[in-house]
């Protein structure tokens, strides 16, 4: 009996060793080591982000959970316009709908693209600690079209959702994800041949679209001990007639000017602006509404669409504060912008996105 137990232990150690040194893992590790963003142990930003201390982290969570001001989310769900894809025009080069948070469904020159798909009611699986969605979902997974590509910006729970990925991967041709994130998708059952892992400035051609991973100033992690073990990114998508930019989660950084020089100008930019705060190590990784406008100008954007608000309660302010600050600054500096309703069909410059719809739900 003891001999059999010993053999089982040896066999398990052998199997774990084989898994840890599999060709796939070795290939992924080589990609890490060749990345300018890899410092030998983890990924890093071009402009360093200060790490909050343990006391600061505890204090931040305590304030968010127990002393947060009221009004972070609404008492009732924010309604959404239900999407009927059969009614979308067939002759438009670019049209899209906002599904909430940073999830957008795009039809770009006949190709279907979705970003950071989030169809769950909670961001994470931590019970009452997980942020709960306070907006309706305008489109169900079963009504999605066959997707040419899904773009993932980073591995945080509100951007990389297990149930959503498992639900959509059978109708998705390709997933483009930052370095390391492919390992998560594979564990969830996504075939490896569908997954393309990218470093900053990598360019991939998908069915006529040129998708470029571009720098962002953020971080990654899905637990307490895996911070920055996988990369984070923003994206540029260029077709024959359209060029758009997706910020992902990020704070202000000088690399935005390089993005604008190399890949701009952009017809439409999509910037997050709803999770900012004053805490050390936090204010550097999320745009304020005013900074999103600065960033839009830096990348040479023409029309700006704000995102990452009106879906999950992730900060210490009223849910409508980001958009109110945004339109005040946007009108002040004179940029062109759209404020789509959830589910509203948008054809930039021609259709939709011009109402201040949230005002009727403010308290």
* Domain boundaries, given as residue ranges, for the chain: 35-361
pLDDT higher than threshold 90 for residue 68: no
Look at residue 25 in the predicted model and tell me its pLDDT: 82
In this predicted structure, what is the pLDDT of residue 74? 83
Q: Is the pLDDT of residue 57 over 90?
A: no
Nearest Cα to 113, choosing from 219, 259, 235? 235
pLDDT the model gives residue 9: 40
CA 87 to chain centre: 27
Taking the C-alpha atoms of residue 355 and residue 353, their distance in angstroms, rounded to an integer, is: 6
**Angle formed by the axes of helices 321-333 and 289-298, to 10°?**
40
In angstroms, the CA 155 to CA 226 distance is: 11
**From 11-25, 294-308, 333-347, the region with the lowest mean pLDDT:** 11-25
pLDDT band for 147, please (50, 70, 90 cuts).
Answer: very high
CA 338 – CA 95 distance, rounded (Å): 13
| Burial classification of residue 114, based on how many CB atoms lie within 10 Å of its CB (0-12 exposed, 13-18 middle, 19 or more buried) | buried
Element containing residue 129 per DSSP (H, E): none
Give yes or no for residue 180 having a pLDDT over 70. Answer: yes
Mean pLDDT of 174-189: 98
CA angle 243, 244, 246 (to 5 degrees): 155
Q: What percent of the chain has pLDDT over 90?
A: 82
Q: Is the pLDDT of residue 37 over 90?
A: yes
Cα 73 from Cα 71, distance rounded (Å): 5
Quote the pLDDT of residue 64. Answer: 66
The CATH architecture that domain 35-361 belongs to is: 4-Layer Sandwich (3.60)
Strand-pairing partners, residue 206, are: 209
Give the residues across from 195 on adjacent strands: 175
Among 122-136, 263-277, 287-301, 310-324, the minimum mean pLDDT is found in: 122-136
Instruction: Indicate the average pLDDT of the chain.
Output: 91
Q: Burial level of 16, CB count in 10 A (0-12/13-18/19+)? A: exposed
In the prediction, which pLDDT does 235 show?
99
* 232 or 68, greater pLDDT: 232
**According to the model, what pLDDT value does residue 224 have?**
86
Residues 213-237: what's their mean pLDDT?
96
Q: Are 161 and 118 in contact (CB under 8 A)?
A: yes
User: Model confidence over 314-342: pLDDT tens digits?
Assistant: 999 999 999 999 999 999 999 999 999 99
Q: What's the CA gap between 198 and 206, in Å, rounded?
A: 14
Q: Which three-class secondary structure state does DSSP give residue 150?
A: strand
Using the predicted structure, report yes or no on whether residue 12 has a pLDDT greater than 50.
no
pLDDT tops 80 at residue 61: no
Closest to 153 measured CA to CA, from 285, 236, 248, 292? 248
Report pLDDT for 72: 75
Question: What whole-number distance in Å separates Cα of residue 200 and Cα of residue 183?
Answer: 18
Question: What is the per-residue pLDDT for 62?
Answer: 67
pLDDT at residue 17, as a whole number:
41
What CA–CA distances, in Å, run from 360 to 74, 303, 363? Answer: 12, 25, 9
Q: pLDDT for 96-122, tens place per residue? A: 999 999 999 999 999 999 999 999 999
Query: Which residue stretches of the chain are H helix?
Result: 2-20, 23-34, 54-66, 162-168, 182-187, 255-263, 289-298, 321-333
Average pLDDT over residues 129-151: 96
Whether the upstream peptide bond of residue 265 has omega within 30° of 0, thus cis, is yes
Least confident window among 56-60, 208-212, 234-238, 281-285? 56-60
For the whole prediction, is pTM greater than 0.85? yes
Select from 305, 242, 302 the least CA-distant residue to 109. Answer: 242
């Amino acid at each position: 009996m003891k001999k059999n137990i010993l053999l089982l232990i040896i066999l398990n150690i052998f199997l774990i060793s084989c898994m840890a040194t599999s060709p796939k893992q070795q290939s992924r590790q080589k990609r890490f080591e060749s990345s300018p963003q890899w410092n030998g142990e983890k990924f890093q930003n071009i402009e360093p982000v200060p790490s909050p201390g343990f006391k600061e982290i505890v204090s931040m969570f305590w304030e968010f959970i127990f002393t947060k001001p009221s009004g972070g989310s609404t008492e009732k769900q924010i309604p959404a316009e239900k999407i009927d894809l059969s009614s979308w025009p067939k002759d438009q080069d670019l049209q899209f709908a906002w599904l909430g948070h940073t999830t957008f469904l795009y039809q770009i020159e006949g190709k279907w693209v979705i970003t950071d798909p989030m169809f769950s009611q909670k961001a994470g699986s931590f019970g009452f600690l997980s942020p709960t969605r306070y907006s309706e979902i305008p489109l169900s997974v079963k009504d999605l079209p066959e997707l040419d590509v899904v773009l993932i910006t980073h591995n945080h729970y509100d951007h990389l959702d297990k149930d959503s990925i498992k639900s959509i991967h059978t109708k998705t041709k390709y997933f483009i994800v930052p370095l390391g994130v492919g390992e998560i998708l594979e564990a969830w059952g996504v075939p490896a041949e569908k997954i393309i892992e990218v470093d900053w400035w990598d360019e991939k051609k998908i069915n006529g679209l040129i998708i470029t991973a571009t720098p962002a100033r953020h971080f990654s992690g899905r637990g307490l001990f895996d911070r920055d073990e996988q990369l984070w990114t923003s994206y540029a998508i260029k077709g024959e007639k359209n060029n758009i930019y997706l910020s992902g989660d990020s704070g202000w950084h000088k690399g935005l000017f390089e993005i604008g020089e190399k890949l701009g100008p952009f017809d439409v930019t999509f910037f997050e602006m709803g999770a900012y705060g004053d805490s050390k190590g936090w204010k550097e990784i999320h745009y304020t509404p005013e900074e999103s406008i600065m960033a839009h100008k830096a990348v040479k954007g023409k029309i700006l669409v704000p995102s990452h608000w009106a879906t999950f309660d992730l900060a210490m302010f009223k849910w409508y504060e980001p958009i109110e600050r945004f339109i005040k600054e946007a009108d002040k500096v004179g940029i062109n912008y759209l404020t789509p309703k959830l589910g509203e069909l948008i054809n930039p410059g021609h259709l939709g996105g011009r109402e201040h719809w949230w005002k009727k739900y403010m308290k």
